[in-house]
Structure 1
């Protein structure tokens, strides 16, 4: 692992692999740079891949530095691009990573970006009477307050329940059955410091990037799970309609992490998107 220091002094860890034009990969909430490990062999054949642990993530202590808000992580991304002198970047964001990219575009524009890939995310997580494309198609302020209380009471179990009791019936069944994969996730979540992650969640649920989508002026690839735990296929199509030049892929039979369920397809389609001439 390498690292750089953000402009508030926070140490941000980055794994760097391969040679060629840059790809920056931004993981989801509670995850780390390891989320992207399965794709390294395919991507590093032609590209230099930067995979960070967002502040407050990856087991790295945040200390007294600023909380991992969407705004702060977007600034961290700009600091990363500055530190490694990166331009013409392909940026890939899953879940929280997509929100970070939308915040980055709001704050810094697209001048340093050449292509974007957003994986299974809505531009506004909370729903209301005028917005049905957030979490579950029905996750309002009241449910957000309830979720926050659960996170503070038992962080790991709250995260698992958020994932299990959504739109994916298979996830619900596996959770209730105590499947081994859920047990591993529970152990991993319990090993993390919940405070910074709870603060991060509060920032993400407060965000609204609907106004950013139609300002994206570089080619964008969208990947959504047909059986996402959180978002309907209608959400995917809505986002695709709002972003100019967007190409939408729906991965059949997959959840909120479609790239993990169909890894070879994702790597192939991402490479074709980045290098269409090959």
Structure 2
């Protein structure tokens, strides 16, 4: 892997492949650059692909540097694009990656960016009496506090519970049945250092990017799971309505990672979107 040093001295690892216009891909919370591996065969033909392990992720220690808050990761993204001299960037963010992009746009604007793709995320995770489009449609401060307790007691199990006890009934059934896929995820999560990831989660749940959406002045593609663990269709349509000229795809029968369930379709639609010189004007 390649790497660069953020402006606080943290070493950030990046996997670079392919040739063409720059495409930056930002993974979800507790994940790594490997999230995007299944798409490389297609994307590398058209793009120079930059896949980082966000600070505190991918098994890399941050050695006493700043925690991976949304603000710090957005600054890391600016540091990365400056280091590699990237302009006219198409950027894809899944889950935490989408939040990182929204924070980046708030802090730095869109001057380096050309196209944006956001995958299955709400601009505000916590819900209250005036906001129902966050996690589960019902994830208030008391549930956030319970989640923190789970993470501090058993980080891996807390992450799995967050995913299992949501809107996707199949996920709950598989978790309770002890399916092999869930056990593999459990073992993988137990290899990670929970401290920076918990600090990251605190930052993500404190964020509110609702006012950022309407300021996005470049084309955006949205992909949501029809049976997302976390977000309803109403969340997807809210985000699509707020971002000017956004195009929305809902992948039926898929969860919080719709791109992983419909890999060929996602790669095809992403390339078509990036290459289209016109702004999208409608949602299918």
| TM bracket (short chain) | over 0.9
Partner of 2:199: 199
Using the size of structure 2 for normalisation, the TM-score is 0.97
Q: How does 1:175-254 map to 2 (within 5 A)?
A: 175-254=175-254
Q: Which residue of 2 aligns with 1:144?
A: 144
- TM-score (norm: length of structure 1): 0.99
Q: Corresponding residue for 1:273? A: 273
Provide the rounded CA distance (Å) in 1 between the counterparts of 2:252 and 2:97: 22
Counterpart secondary structure, 2:101: helix
**What's the CA shift for 1:62?**
1.1
Matched residue SS, 2:117: strand
- 1:57 corresponds to which residue? 57
Q: Which residue of 2 aligns with 1:39?
A: 39
Counterpart in the other structure of 1:13 = 13
- 2:27 matched to which residue of 1? 27
Measured in 1, the distance between the counterparts of 2:46 and 2:265 equals 17
Question: Aligned residue for 1:259?
Answer: 259
Q: SS where residue 34 of structure 2 aligns?
A: helix
Matches within 5 A, 1:115-126: 115-126=115-126
What's the RMSD between the two structures over aligned residues?
0.5
What's the CA shift string for 1:100-144, capped at 9, x where partnerless? 000000000001100000000000000000000000000001110
1:96 is matched with which residue?
96
Q: What secondary structure sits across from 1:14 in the alignment?
A: strand
Shift of 1:276: 2.3
Matched with 2:282 is none
Q: Secondary structure at the match of 2:239?
A: helix
**Which residue is 1:74 aligned to?**
74
For structure 1, which runs of at least 5 residues remain unmatched after alignment?
none
Q: Which runs of 4+ in 1 moved over 2 A?
A: none
Q: For 1:171-191, what per-residue CA distance to the aligned partner results, in whole angstroms no more than 9, with x for missing partners?
A: 000001100000000000000
Deviation of 1:83 (Å):
0.2
Q: How far apart, CA to CA, are the structure 1 residues paired with 2:42 and 2:83?
A: 25
Q: For 1:150, what is the secondary structure of its paired residue?
A: helix
User: Tell me, what secondary structure is at the counterpart of 1:51?
Assistant: strand
Any idea what SS the aligned residue of 1:29 has? coil
Match status 1:156 vs 2:173: no
Name structure 2 gaps, 5 residues minimum. 278-284
Cα distance in 1 for partners of 2:19, 2:197 equals 32
Q: Secondary structure at the match of 1:13?
A: strand
User: Structure 1, residues 22-75: CA drift from partner, whole Å, max 9, x if none?
Assistant: 000000000000000000011010110000000000000011100000000000
